[in-house]
Structure 1
Amino acid sequence: MTVLKRLAAILIGLIAILYLGATGLLFFLQRDFQYAPAGEVFEPQAVGFSGEVVTIPTGGDEIVTGWYAPPRDGMPVILYFKGNAGSFSAEHVRYRAFSEAGYGVLAFDYRGFPASPGVLSEENILADALSAYDWLAREGHPILIWGRSLGSGPASYVASVREAEALLLETPFYSAVSVAGERYGFLPVGWLMHDQFRVDQWIGEVAEPVFVAHGTADEVISVGNGERVFAAAPNAVELWIEPGGTHGDLWARGIWERARAFFESVNRGG
Structure 2
Amino acid sequence: MKLLRRLLLALLILVIASYVGAVGYMYFNQRALQYSARGEVLALGDTQLSNAQDVAIASGTTRVNGWYQPPRQGMPVIAYYKGNSKSFSEEHERYERFVAEGYGFLAFDYRGFPASPGDISEANILADAIAAFDWLDALTDAPILIWGRSLGSGPATYVASQRDAAALLLETPFLSAVNVAAERYPILPVWQVMQDQFRNDLWIADVSEPVLVAHGTADRTIDVSNGRRLYDLAPNPDALWIVEGADHSDLWNAGIWDQAKAFFHRALPR
Q: Could you say which TM-score interval applies, normalised by the shorter chain?
A: over 0.9
1:34 CA drift (Å): 0.6
Q: Distance in 2 between matches of 1:142 and 1:236?
A: 19
Q: Distance in 1 between matches of 2:216 and 2:44?
A: 30
Consecutive unaligned residues of structure 2, counting only runs of 5 or more, are none
> 3-state SS of the aligned residue for 1:138?
helix
Aligned to 2:45: 45
2:67 counterpart of 1:67: yes
Residue type matched to 2:176 in 1?
A: S
Q: Distance in 1 between matches of 2:125 and 2:207?
A: 19
Q: Distance in 2 between matches of 1:93 and 1:6?
A: 63
Aligned to 1:170: 171
2:130 counterpart of 1:130: yes
Aligned to 2:224: 223
1:191 CA drift (Å): 1.0
1:268 CA drift (Å): 5.1
Consecutive unaligned residues of structure 1, counting only runs of 5 or more, are none
**Over aligned residues, Cα RMSD in angstroms?**
0.8
Q: Distance in 2 between matches of 1:141 and 1:27?
A: 43
Q: Distance in 2 between matches of 1:47 and 1:216?
A: 32
Q: Distance in 1 between matches of 2:45 and 2:146?
A: 24
> 3-state SS of the aligned residue for 1:56?
strand
Q: Distance in 1 between matches of 2:230 and 2:74?
A: 31
1:44 CA drift (Å): 1.4
Aligned residues: 268
Aligned to 2:10: 10
Deviation readout 1:109-143 (Å, 9 max, x if unpaired): 00000100001000000000000000000122210
Q: Distance in 1 between matches of 2:45 and 2:71?
A: 18
Alignment of 1:67-216 (within 5 A): 67-139=67-139, 140-216=141-217
Deviation readout 1:93-119 (Å, 9 max, x if unpaired): 000001111000000000000100001
> 3-state SS of the aligned residue for 1:237?
strand
Q: Distance in 1 between matches of 2:7 and 2:252?
A: 55
> 3-state SS of the aligned residue for 2:114?
coil
Superposition TM-score, scaled by structure 2 size: 0.98
